[in-house]
Amino acid sequence: METRIIVISPASSLTPSYVAKVLHKTGLSLTVKETCFGVIIEGNEKDIKKAVEKVRDLNSEEVYIKERGFPVADKRRCRAEHGSRPGFCQLQSEYETMSYLSKSSSEEEEEEEKKEKEGKLDVEDLEKLVKEEAD
């Protein structure tokens, strides 16, 4: 069994509720727990990989997925058992910085696309040049 935390960027149009519904509709054998920051999923490795792909297809730039060392509702981590939120400060910090990471990665992609387009001629422009040289 594997457990993953799916954290949704605060700047995202996705909601934990929507992601949970999408995962439920896949028909995979998963435990899906909606949280304030995203979703926790648990299942076998094959189903987890499919679920991760599905979530990334929704919006890969605004979703952060990481492994969780404890199963869903584990008494060692569950707030219902002891009230504190061990590990929450780290998760909260990651959640707050996600919008910077997604912004950075989308800016990098735009830069790469711009570089690819630079120096390339449109087919029409190339045909004009060839005709001019032929005349």
pLDDT at 12: 83
* 30-34: strand order across its sheet: 30-34, 38-43, 2-8, 63-67
Mean pLDDT of 2-13: 87
pLDDT at 74: 73
pLDDT at 98: 66
Mean pLDDT of 42-57: 94
Q: What is the DSSP string of 55-66?
A: HHHHHGGGEEEE
**Cα–Cα dist 16/135, whole Å:** 64
What average pLDDT does the structure give for the chain?
Answer: 80
Q: Residue for token digits 């792909």?
A: 53
Among 71, 74, 94, residue whose Cα is nearest residue 7: 94
3-state secondary structure of 115: helix
**Cα–Cα dist 36/15, whole Å:** 9
